[in-house]
Structure 1
Amino acid sequence: MGAVTAVTDELMDALKALLGERLSTSAAVREQHGKDVSFHEGHPPDAVAFAETTEEVAEIVRLCAAHKTPIVPFGTGTSLEGHISALKGGVCIDLGRMNSIIEVNGEDLDCRVQAGVTRKQLNEYLRDTGLFFPIDPGADASLGGMAATRASGTNAVRYGTMRENVLGLTVVTADGRIIRTGGRARKSSAGYDLTRLFVGSEGTLGVITEVQLRLHGIPEAISAAVCPFETLEGAVNTVILTIQSGIPVARIELLDEVQMGACSEYSDLGYPALPTLFFEFHGTEAGVKEQAERVAELASEFGGRDFQWATQQEDRTRLWQARHDAYWAAKALKPGSGGWATDVCVPISRLAECIMETKRDIEESGLLAPLVGHVGDGNFHLVYLLAEGDEEEYRRASAHNDRMVMRAIAMGGTCTGEHGVGYGKIPFLQAEHGEAVALMRQIKQALDPDGIMNPGKVLPA
């Protein structure tokens, strides 16, 4: 791939002619668009272009391609592995103004939205239709960004990830072409599956500007429950047996004793600082009751205490908001600290082994790193709480993260269940995928020969 170049005066003049005041070189705007919410260092772009249509995105890309200038797509900036950092400068394309819901096809349970629509915006729009979009990564991320990072979240154990819920895309390629992938049909055998190629590509193959999504009916009954355990191993074994028993739970979230204590304090929940599972059950009244009773029986076998139920909407909202605020609750345990969030995912049968080894390693390393996870999928997260400027503590955390990731890969798992690669997880890609990385390079070379699309992400240099 050819060497990319910085923004030239000629390119800047062409972009200003196209966008007018919607092109910004303000230091504050550039800084905001070069740093996500992760621990990884930010790098500002040279300019930020606020696009409003797919055609405008295509023209911006064509102009940048002619000058071999890097392009970094931007949704809401909530990614966790440095995805939006402009490592080689260039132009950030902010898609936030492309926030129209184009169509909702209620009878077919699908919709089409512009990439800047957020998940909360879509669900608010759907509120009176009896439908909802279930993918919930916690942050109110843009749906284009969620597709680009193959996001998932608390509901994935029942409803899947963005991979399963994206039916089609509109994408601007690295040479400025506008293509449509997939469609509204629930299945197709026509040609290569380009939709899945772009889902999870993290802006390295093209800019997603529209997303066709699968919708789901709002369940007749929803109930949530909180169950503390005497031991972390008992909580994890409850999860494993629940999944292996085929109980169709909608959510199973694990918080270790450190994270549960932090969340209880931060969100004033009043629960004990013990390893805890958060459950949610969806279905008919009878179905929800049966699911809950079966899970309660399993939990009791592994030292689970009495379930505490949350059936009212406001109680469930408060409970899940507390779960989504886990990162900020964790940071409150060590005021002034930086929070380095990381994740791995393993086959469900290896989950207890992986978590227990990871916990022992945390204690032996002398780190403060609360653990939380979407454990119904075998996916769990840590937040290393690191003192500002403490390089020795950072080295211990980095070494622990390396061991945890390699442990997960050795168990048949992955270096990231949902955070994505960005530039934070690049070092582990070869260990996980081996020779397949070379094929990924060939795909990148074919679709982006000049290497202008979000350079420095996903693939090792």
Structure 2
Amino acid sequence: MALITYLPRNEDGIAAAIGILKQRFGERFQTGQAIRDQHGHTTTWILTQPPDAVVFPTETAEVTEIVKTCADHGVPVIPFGTGTSLEGHVNAPAGGICVDLSQMNQVLAVHAEDLDCVVQPGVTRSQLNTYLRDQGLFFPIDPGADASLGGMAATRASGTNAVRYGTMKDNVLSLEAVMPDGRVIRTASRARKSSAGYDLTRLLVGAEGTLGIITEITLKLHGIPEAMSSATCSFRTVEEACNAVIATIQMGVPVARIELLDTPMVQGMNGYSKLSLPETPLLMLEFHGSETSVAEQAETFGEIAADCGGSDFAWTANAEERTKLWQARHDGYWAALSLRPGAKGISTDVCVPISRLADCVTATQEKTAKLGFIAPIIGHVGDGNFHTLVLVDMEDDNEVARAEGFVSWLNDLAISMDGTCTGEHGIGQGKKPYLKKELGAATDDMAAIKAALDPKGIMNPGKIF
């Protein structure tokens, strides 16, 4: 089983905080085992470490009250969005109070003329886009799961649209956050650029709740494109597909999405989503723009793909067909699980320069085959990021040990290629062993920032460091 650690518990402090917060929040403060397990549970293989209680605030002032109470008694505070993170971010290794922000789910303001909006952290990406639709606007970051925007900011989320629209760090203008001593700060204004002081916005984006709790987010928006088209193209090898990606990016084709699926992943999707794609390495793409430009982009990519050995190229602007295709992509996790019923999926991600992508993916395929694993690969290859889902019998200790060894090997491989151990999952608990390998002495400076802002160490302890 994936290694985790338990930290010392402050039993007296936890008991005192529970007594105070239970009296203050009543039914919005829960200590039942089932709800605690739910809020420690992760969608990966890392063991559940539940909190001692879960509280549901509805406004920033209540979050402040919770944090101050916990700070006074030295009790850990673990922020919780929708629980879709993959590296143990919401576990409570020292116990403590889970702050579930799902009831802070209001869109507070939309400034259509400025292409931005202000939301509470519990708003999900699909909720926001439904709210914005009649104004001709959308928020592009799409990690697949219907994650909360607070959680997406905290983990510096990414997704299928990142190659064109960037990640959360590129799309958050400002944050309101409750700091470890209960102070409320705002990191920036709504201005599109600023040279005013330290960039606290980007410090908190990706901090995984270890520096404060995000209670309000100002986000960049984009106009819904006039037209969209999607395309698929098959290749004989992953290397050919990666070469097509590199050529497409180098030629400046403004793809909105470009996803790589290896052969097992295509097989899983065909079965699970009732598709009939050729069962060889596949690229899925989406183009945004005017009706003319999306057609031109698709045709240009088709020519590039043909030069790289691509075949069965097809594109469509039909909304129903596009939706079916991308829904199948978003269901990739479940499609992969269908390849080995009863197995648990160990999802891990790395990111490398796109010039090394073919080498990294090919080496990964060879390694998993040598270990005897079914391990479908899917990736946001426009920026060099890919995911491997190793299907494991968790009752087989030998198999689990081999899977752990593979995950370690893959992270080391990516780092050796001048890449990163995580493109979008974050560090949490699962990636902690590799951060120091990747960044070296810089992690000491991160720890110094953590100690300065959170001297009692109460904000999501046991994560990142």
TM-score category of the 2 structures, normalised to the smaller one? over 0.9
SS at match of 1:382: strand
Following TM superposition, by how much is the alpha carbon of 1:388 offset from its aligned partner in structure 2, in angstroms?
2.6
Shift of 1:294: 1.2
Q: 1:268 aligns with which of 262, 266, 274?
A: 274
SS in 2 for 1:33: helix
Number of the residue aligned with 1:413 = 419
**Aligned match of 1:445:** 451
TM-score normalized by the length of structure 2? 0.97
Cross-structure match for 1:5: 10
Give the structure 1 partner of residue 127 of structure 2.
121
Deviation of residue 11 (structure 1)?
1.6
Of stretches 108-117 and 329-338 in structure 1, the one that deviates more from structure 2 is 329-338
Aligned equivalent of 1:286: 292
Whether the 8 Å CA contact 2:394–2:400 is kept in 1: the answer is no
Matches within 5 A, 1:40-189: 40-189=46-195
Give, in whole Å, the separation in 1 of the partners of 2:270 and 2:410. 27
- Structure-1 separation of matches of 2:57 and 2:218: 20
1:396 matched to 2:402? The reply is yes
Give yes or no for contact 2:163–2:257 (8 Å, CA) kept in 1: yes
**1:341 is matched with which residue?**
347
Give the ranges of 4+ consecutive aligned residues of structure 1 lying more than 3 Å apart after TM superposition: 6-9
Q: Deviations over 1:279-310 (max 9, x none)?
A: 00001112112211111011111221132223
Say which SS state the counterpart of residue 283 (structure 2) adopts.
strand
TM-score normalised by L of structure 1: 0.98
Rounded Cα–Cα distance in structure 1 between residues aligned with 2:216 and 2:323: 29
| Aligned residue identity for 2:369 | E
The runs of 5 or more residues in structure 2 that have no matched partner are 1-6
* Unpaired runs of at least 5, structure 1: none
1: CA distance between counterparts of 2:147 and 2:399? 31
Match of 1:18 in 2: 24
Partner of 2:365: 359
Q: Show the counterpart of 1:386.
A: 392
Query: 1:234: which partner in 2?
Result: 240
Equivalent-residue separation in structure 2 for 1:10 and 1:455 (angstroms): 19
- Contact 2:67/2:77 (8 A) holds in 1: yes
Kindly state the Cα deviation for residue 203 of structure 1 after the two structures are TM-superposed.
0.5
CA distance in structure 1 between the partners assigned to 2:367 and 2:79 by the alignment? 37
Alpha-carbon deviations, 1:154-195, whole Å to 9, x = none? 000000000000000010000100101112100000010000
Of stretches 101-110 and 244-253 in structure 1, the one that deviates more from structure 2 is 244-253
* Counterparts of 1:314 and 1:55, CA distance in 2: 44
Secondary structure in structure 1 of the residue aligned to 2:405? helix
How far apart, in 1, do the equivalents of 2:189 and 2:284 lie? Answer: 36
> Which segment drifts farther, 412-421 or 310-319?
310-319
Q: Deviations over 1:318-354 (max 9, x none)?
A: 1111111111111111111111000000011111111
1:207-218, aligned counterparts within 5 Å?
207-218=213-224
Amino acid at match of 2:104: M
Matches for 1:305-344 after TM superposition, within 5 Å: 305-344=311-350
Aligned partners of 2:194 and 2:382: how far apart in 1? 29
- For 1:35 and 1:147, the matched residues in 2 are separated by 20
- Given that 1:4 and 1:451 are in contact with CA atoms closer than 8 Å, whether structure 2 keeps it comes out as no
SS of the residue 1:372 aligns to? strand
In 2, Cα distance between equivalents of 1:181 and 1:68: 26
Q: Please tell me whether residue 251 in structure 1 is matched to residue 257 in structure 2.
A: yes
Residue identity opposite 1:19 in structure 2: F
Mapped to 1, the partners of 2:72 and 2:357 lie a distance apart of 49
Q: Distance in 2 between matches of 1:205 and 1:85?
A: 16
Moved more, 318-327 or 191-200: 318-327
- 1:386 is aligned with what amino acid? V
Contact 1:336–1:388 (8 Å) recurs in 2: no
1:450 is displaced (CA, Å) by: 0.9
CA separation in 2, counterparts of 1:273 and 1:353?
A: 21
Deviations 1:204-245 (A, max 9, x none): 010001110000011111000111112221111111111122
Alignment: residue pair count: 458
Contact in 2 for aligned 1:4/1:68 (Cα 8 Å) = no
- Choose 300-309 or 111-120, whichever is displaced more: 300-309
* RMSD over equivalenced CA pairs, Å: 1.1
Structure 2 CA distance for aligned equivalents of residues 398 and 8 of structure 1: 33
Alignment partners' CA distance in 1, 2:261 and 2:457: 41
Deviates more, 1:436-445 or 1:12-21: 12-21
- Give CA deviations for 1:32-85 in whole Å, capped at 9, x if unaligned: 000121121111100000010001001000000011001100000000101001
Q: Which amino acid aligns with 1:5?
A: N
Whether the 8 Å contact between 1:362 and 1:369 is mirrored in structure 2 is yes
Aligned partner of 1:300 in structure 2 is 306
Structure 1 range deviating more: 383-392 or 50-59: 383-392
Are residue 430 (structure 1) and residue 436 (structure 2) matched? yes
Q: C-alpha distance in 2, partners of 1:113/1:19?
A: 23
Aligned partners of 1:211, 1:313: CA distance in 2, in Å? 31
Give, in angstroms, the shift of residue 4 of structure 1: 5.7
Q: Is the 8 A contact 2:257 2:286 kept in 1?
A: yes
Structure 2 CA distance, aligned partners of 1:307 and 1:16?
A: 60
Matched to 1:282, the amino acid is: H
Q: Provide the C-alpha distance between the structure 2 equivalents of 1:310 and 1:75, rounded to a whole number of angstroms.
A: 36
